Amino acid sequence: MKLTILGSGTSVPHPERASPAHWLETSGGTILLDISADAPHRMAQESLDWPGLDAIWISHFHLDHFGGLAPFLFGLRVPQAKSRTKPLRIFGPEGLRHIIETINDSNNYKLFEQRFAIEIAEVAANAGFEILPGVTANTLKTPHTKESLALRLKDEDSKPFVYTSDTGFSEDLAPFAKDSRLLLMECSFRRNKPVQKHLELADAMRVAQECAPETLVLTHLYPEWDHIDLAAEARALWSGETIEAKDGLTLGM
């Protein structure tokens, strides 16, 4: 698998960190992990094959993770995507179909009137499914919103990849992320987090200590991380490899 960070930030507008979006190449095709409003243009900026994207994963319905879906579907109705025939699969929590259909119907956007099929699949918490051919996925309910899910992926070529998306601390995170080649974990705050539904550094490193991923990438970074050496602070709490997510960073695994 190969991961490209498109957006390492949050809902807060930031000059260097777009809102959450991560491009993952697997043996079964490409998956966009969360689709912020910035995501459609960030895919183009990184010269990624956005008209050929195979699947989208939506972790929860906060707009910094979901706000680009309607604009992206609207954008696929253009000449650059006209040769596309394969379906686009969109996976997310229960309620996904209702929310996107409501947006579509609000102004007759014709988001589903494409030359190819759009397949929406609502996924339960703590379930397993095939996200792309030969790529298995498992979900974990996370303490963030009522629908929020973490995702664990395994393809034919690589060891498991895990994406927490937004989450508060949970004892379930480390077992879920066990034996991962790469753990992409949120680390919203440095310390004294103002809300329980996100992680601060000590929470994230407690998870890392317990599950010991080969590589830990910390993302969803609020502006309070600006000008802080996140990786150095992480190393003081866990000796494994920790990488600070940055927009445009590409990691093979």
The contact set with Zn ion (CB under 5 A) reads 62, 64, 166
Closest distance to Zn ion from the beta carbon of 166 (Å)? 4
Residue 80: DSSP 8-state: G
Tokens for 8, please give them.
Answer: 């390492």
How many Cβ atoms sit within 10 Å of the Cβ of residue 120? 16
Query: Shortest approach of Zn ion to residue 222 CB, angstroms?
Result: 10
Give the shortest CB-10-to-Zn ion separation in angstroms.
Answer: 5
* Token code pair at residue 45: 């900026």
- How are beta strands 215-219 and 21-26 bridged, if at all? unpaired
Measure the CA angle with vertex 197, ends 190 and 238; round to 5°.
Answer: 40
Using the Cα atoms of residue 16, residue 21, residue 26 and residue 28 in order, give the sign of their dihedral.
Answer: negative
Give the residue with the Cβ less far from Zn ion, 21 or 76. 21
- The residue type at 125: A
CB of 124 to Zn ion, least distance (A): 19
Cβ closer to Zn ion: 147 or 155?
A: 147
In the complex, minimum distance from the CB of residue 64 to Zn ion, in angstroms, rounded to a whole number: 4
Q: Shortest distance, CB of residue 19 to Zn ion, whole angstroms?
A: 8
Nearer to Zn ion by Cβ, of 222 and 238: the residue is 222
Looking at the Cβ atoms of 155 and 203, the one nearer to Zn ion is: 203
8 A C-beta contact, residue 191 and residue 203: no
Pick the closer one to Zn ion by CB: 53 or 199: 199
Q: Residue 214 or residue 224: which is nearer to Zn ion going by CB?
A: 224
Question: What is the spatial distance between Cα 246 and Cα 184, in angstroms, rounded to a whole number?
Answer: 12
d(Cα 58, Cα 84) in Å, to the nearest integer? 22
